[in-house]
Amino acid sequence: MKARELIKRMLERAHLEGLAREVNKSLHYLSWSFKRGFGRVDHSLVDGYLRRQHVRKLHIGCGSNILNGWLNSDLRPHTRDVLHLDATKRFPFDDELFDYIFSEHMIEHVSYAEGLFMLGECYRILKKNGRIRLSTPNLSFLIDLYTPRKTELQKQYIDWATSTFVTSAPYGDDAFVINNFVRHWGHQFIYDEKTLRHAMEKARFSEIDKLNLTESADPTLRNLENEGRIPCGFLRLETLTLEATKR
């Protein structure tokens, strides 16, 4: 077979495989949209929540961490009690509607530019004096993992992360864990305090405070993070948390 013919067949095959993936993706989205009533479920959720709640709280990227009294939202909800929300697009809410916004380990799953847009939307829908709380993986946590003098918790984290997520690694090692962390789970951009603080300032938030996981001066924003989803102490090791106010 001539090289030109071989290349032609390879391209045709690649095109068909790509087309099949796109068709399958479209069918999956159509099936999901049908189950959600093509938006009716989400409209009902929002209307019911706003009628019931005087203090309105939006939870972005909830996953399985469903918070009582919050309007829980996710990109692909697994239940009809969770709102479908694409945080990279304009939020389906009027201006100055919410008193609080919380998002845990979500903003790192969109690009830096999309994260700026998301923060701008958060600012828009928050009432004056409203508060936002963001928890996200901390780039400095990854850098600290690579230092030669590691704490016992860091050593335990490296062993756990390697054996759990990097099964092809020949041994537990910081390099495998760091490489995996920045690429796995759809991570797009890992913030440090400086870049997240700057992004929040760019969205016009002020009074930005760094806090420990689950802790806050505002009782409404305490004990929100889902620490139990990974072994004890590891989420606290990973996470950067900032709160800010819309003035």
**What is the model's pLDDT at position 14?**
67
CATH number at residue 119: 3.40.50.150
Amino acid sitting at position 6: L
Does one domain contain both 126 and 111?
A: yes
User: Could you tell me if residue 233 is inside a domain?
Assistant: no
Q: Are residues 86 and 125 in the same domain?
A: yes
DSSP category for residue 220:
G
Say how far apart CA 201 and CA 66 lie, in whole Å: 29
> What pLDDT is stored for residue 23 in this prediction?
56
Model confidence pLDDT, tens digit, residues 175-223: 999 999 999 999 999 999 999 999 999 999 999 999 999 999 999 999 9
Give 150-174 pLDDT, tens digit per residue: 999 999 999 999 999 999 999 999 9
The answer to whether 133 and 216 are in contact (CB under 8 A) is: yes
Is the CA virtual torsion 9, 12, 18, 24 positive or negative? negative
Between residues 60 and 19, the one the model is more confident about = 60
For 157, the 3-state DSSP assignment is helix
Considering its fold, how many domains does the chain have in total? 3
My answer on whether 217 and 119 are in the same domain is yes
Tell me what percent of the residues of the chain surpass a pLDDT of 70: 86
CA distance linking residue 4 with residue 8, whole number of Å = 6
- Could you tell me if 78 and 199 lie in one domain? yes
Whether 234 is in a domain gets the answer: no
H or E stretch at 200: helix 193-202
Cα 79–114–199 angle (5° rounding)? 115
Residue 133, H or E segment = strand 126-137
Residue ranges making up the domain that contains 173: 139-190
Q: Where are the alpha helices (DSSP H) in 110-192?
A: 112-125, 139-145, 152-165, 174-183
Are 47 and 126 members of one domain? yes
In a domain, 235, yes or no: no
Q: Could you tell me if 88 and 160 lie in one domain?
A: no
The backbone torsions φ and ψ at residue 111, rounded to the nearest 5 degrees and listed phi first, read -65, 165
Q: Which pLDDT tens digit goes with each residue over 64-97?
A: 999 999 999 999 998 999 999 999 999 999 999 9
CA pair distance 59, 101, nearest whole angstrom: 6
Pairing mode, strands 98-104 and 126-137: parallel
